[in-house]
Amino acid sequence: MVGYPRYLTDTGIARIVKRARRNLAEDLIDRAYDLSIGCLLHIFGEDWVDRNIADVSAHSHPTSLLNSEQDRKILDRHKDDVISMCGLILFGQSVKNVRPIISRIFLGEVEAGLFEIEVSRILFNQGLKFDVKVPTGTFGEDYDFEIFLPDGTTVAADAKCKLSSTSARDSSVINSLESARKQLPKNRAGVIFVSYPEIWVDENTLKEITPFLVDRFLKKTSRIHVVVVVIKFRTVESHLITSGMIYHVITNPSITACMLKDPFKDLNDTPKLVPNVWSLASGMGLHSPFPAIRWTDPKSF
């Protein structure tokens, strides 16, 4: 009996790629989607895909012939989400200690688990050395990452994902930041990564609540040196979707520049290469640049 989740080897990927090209050779988007479904089936199994992808897809759009522009946009966004998910999972397989994260995704913590892998990808893109921490369950020690700065300092970091079902409220964001602060050690510099649901961006919530909320939180703590807000951006024109990740770094104004531990102070202008579903689907090889973009001013979004 197969135990899920399970690792996908390069040989397995090559087999799925070959099948995807054969089935949908003319449409790159459908080929990438078919490839993504094949990878997720291998890693998580049919029941998981039915529960987290097929059911969502069937609920989001009619299974009969799409007969409206709105239906087509919903389907296109669904495909983009699945392709993005698969890209993260493929990258995650190369991260040390990622197994507990993949297991939580398998057990239903999909959004939170994917965000932790996204943080890993951002750190990797920027050339930062880091470790994913194995959960301990110990108060003050149960955080997600250790980041090793060039000056020899080790920074503790935690990732908090605001679920797509969460309403955009000041208290909700503050509660997540406070929860992360308590999970981080008291005697170390800390970094908090927090993700906002895409719908909050659609509602212009991000530029309204981020600056003063995080500033208000940071002024009350010397333990947290940086808060990093991460969101997915997506533009849809006709049937063409452009999407990616952007992050906004907010440093603690109460900590002097010489003492501040900001992992993103020196940006990597040439991000490292990571697995990319689009390159697999098009036959261009396993790796392709996939940088997260630093976003300097939330008010300009």
pLDDT at 64: 38
Q: How far is CA 256 from the centre of its chain?
A: 30
Q: Which of 125-129, 283-287, 294-298 is the most confident on average?
A: 125-129
Long-range Cβ contact pairs of 99-107 (< 8 A, separation 24 or more):
100/134, 100/135, 101/132, 102/5, 102/43, 103/5, 105/5, 105/44, 106/4, 106/5, 106/44, 106/48
What is the spatial distance between Cα 209 and Cα 185, in angstroms, rounded to a whole number? 27
Cβ atoms of residues 66 and 75 within 8 Å? yes
Query: Beta strands of the chain (E only): which ranges?
Result: 129-132, 145-148, 154-161, 190-195, 224-237, 240-251, 273-275, 287-289, 293-294
Question: Which of the four pLDDT bands, split at 50, 70 and 90, describes residue 190?
Answer: very high
- pTM of the predicted protein model: 0.87
Average pLDDT over residues 227-249: 80
Among the residue ranges 130-139, 230-239, 249-258, the one predicted with the least confidence is 230-239
What is the spatial distance between Cα 229 and Cα 250, in angstroms, rounded to a whole number? 8
Residue-wise DSSP of 231-285: EEEEEEETTEEEEEEEEEEEE-TTS-TTT---TTSS--SSPPEEE-HHHHHHTS-
More confident residue, 288 or 8: 8
In the predicted structure, residue 251 carries a pLDDT above the cut 80: yes
Q: Provide the mean pLDDT of the chain.
A: 81
Average pLDDT over residues 122-131: 90
In the predicted structure, residue 191 carries a pLDDT above the cut 60: yes
| Helix, strand, or coil (residue 295) | coil
